[in-house]
Amino acid sequence: MSTDFTTTRRAFYLPDGVTYLDGNSLGPMPLAARQRVADMMADEWSQMLITGWNKAGWYVQPRLVGDRIARLIGAGAGQVVMGDTLSIKVFQAVSAARVLRPDRRVILSDSGNFPSDLYVAQGLAKAVGAELRVVAPEDVEAAINDDLAVLMITEVDYRTGRRHDMKALTATAHQHGALTVWDLAHSAGAVDVDLLGADADFAVGCTYKYLNGGPGAPAFIWTNPRLAEQAEPILQGWMGHAAPFAFDMEYRPAPGIERMRVGTPPVIAMTALDAALDVWDGVDMAELRARSIELTEAFIAGVEANCPDVTLNSPRDPSLRGSQVSFRHPHAYAVMQALIAQGVVGDFRAPDVLRFGFAPLYNDPSDVARAVDILGKILRSGSWDRPDFHQKAAVT
């Protein structure tokens, strides 16, 4: 292997005594991020003031950072741009796709999609007179028909880790004249995404999970080059204008992916993300995927051999799942609190799911072994059954 996962692990701040298996919710801080942000504030904002937009390149940063992400998701340079949040980018992509199929009114999604994507589509559908149709994940392929304007799918399920077949579903959608919007929230930086290979139409994702950009880091959006000059999202802002500083009264979309920009980009946050992406230089995505499968396979085998009362909630075939594994337990919330109290940080998802994310950049076999060991002890001893572990926090 040419990717050195020992070096990538050392690039992160990981607190002592913590086995962090929640990078699929919020990635840990890359050591470079803090210094880079401090430097940007001292050397750019302070000193350059308004001229930083040119001199420090703040204006082009959303596209340059997008280029760095493009390589990780099988897209080309100049095809990805950063900004806003994932929910906003879902709105942009779905609204742009729908306009390209003006004679059709159905947006199809599945019940394994992240709720915010469904909320966004509900709001859009209500506003423009479209219809959101939601089926079970396993019924998506059969539900694709000639009514569809847009297939809006999250590739990797946030609870089960089930991975949709992007290439096959995209081909089926295209056979029926529909366009696809892929949400890569749990894919980018986690699996070997190949947008161009799958001939997908639009893709969006967040950068605070496996890409470690920090809490609320900017989102990304990709449009297939064959559609980039036709896409017209509802959200039209000055940074997506063909000539933002001409201050024309009429909107004219910028060429290509730049039209997906909206307002003024968040430079401080973008700088933290840019620093976080340094870790990816030299990482081979096929090797990353192999490492991810090694970790998740070892975790499933370890838990099933050592931990009573839990049921695998993820596909057993690694080709059908992303880089996370979940198990069901009737008292999953309390079990997760007991785990966290012992330094193994995963996530609880309602109603009964224990979720563990494996980020190959910094998780290694020692994390798997420790998590299996501690989960086994907690479940065998029943030590999770304490009043404080049943007490729910405001945000989980």
The answer to whether residue 355 is catalytic is yes
Q: Could you say whether residue 87 binds its own copies (CB under 8 A)?
A: yes
Minimum distance from residue 210 beta carbon to its own copies (Å): 14
Sites for its own copies among residues 334-393 (CB under 8 A): 340, 345, 347, 349-350, 393
Annotated binding site for pyridoxal 5'-phosphate: 86-87, 114-117, 154, 183, 186, 208, 238, 264
Establish if 13 lies at the interface with its own copies (CB under 8 A).
yes
Q: Which is closer to its own copies, CB of 215 or CB of 255? A: 215
Q: Is 9 exposed, middle or buried (0-12, 13-18, 19+ CB in 10 A)?
A: middle
When the beta carbons of 114 and 327 are compared against its own copies, the nearer one is 114
Smallest gap from residue 301 Cβ to its own copies (A): 26
CB of 180 to its own copies, least distance (A): 21
Q: Is 216 a residue that touches its own copies (CB under 8 A)? A: yes
In whole angstroms, how close is the CB of 167 to its own copies at the nearest point?
Answer: 27
Quick check: is 208 catalytic?
Answer: yes
From candidates 73, 84, 140, 179, binder to its own copies by CB under 8 A: 84
What's the number of CA atoms in the CB half-sphere (13 Å) around residue 385? 6
* Candidate list 156, 217, 231, 378; residue touching its own copies; CB under 8 A: 217
Subset of 230-249 contacting its own copies (CB under 8 A): 233-239, 241, 244-249
Annotated active-site residue 114? The verdict is yes
- Provide the mask over 260-289, with x wherever binding to its own copies is found by CB under 8 A and - wherever it is not: --xxxxxxxxx-x-----------------
Select 208 or 358, whichever has its Cβ closest to its own copies. 208
Pick between residue 33 and residue 198 the one whose CB is nearest to its own copies.
33
Nearer to its own copies, 96 or 378 (CB): 96
Dihedral pair phi/psi, residue 120, rounded to 5°:
-60, -45
CB of 74 or CB of 356, closer to its own copies: 356
94 binds its own copies (CB under 8 A): no
- Choose the catalytic residue: 36, 89, 209, 289: 209
Residue 308 engages its own copies in binding (rule: CB under 8 A): no
Choosing from 12, 208, 299, 358, the catalytic residue is 208
Q: Which residues are catalytic?
A: 114, 183, 208-209, 355
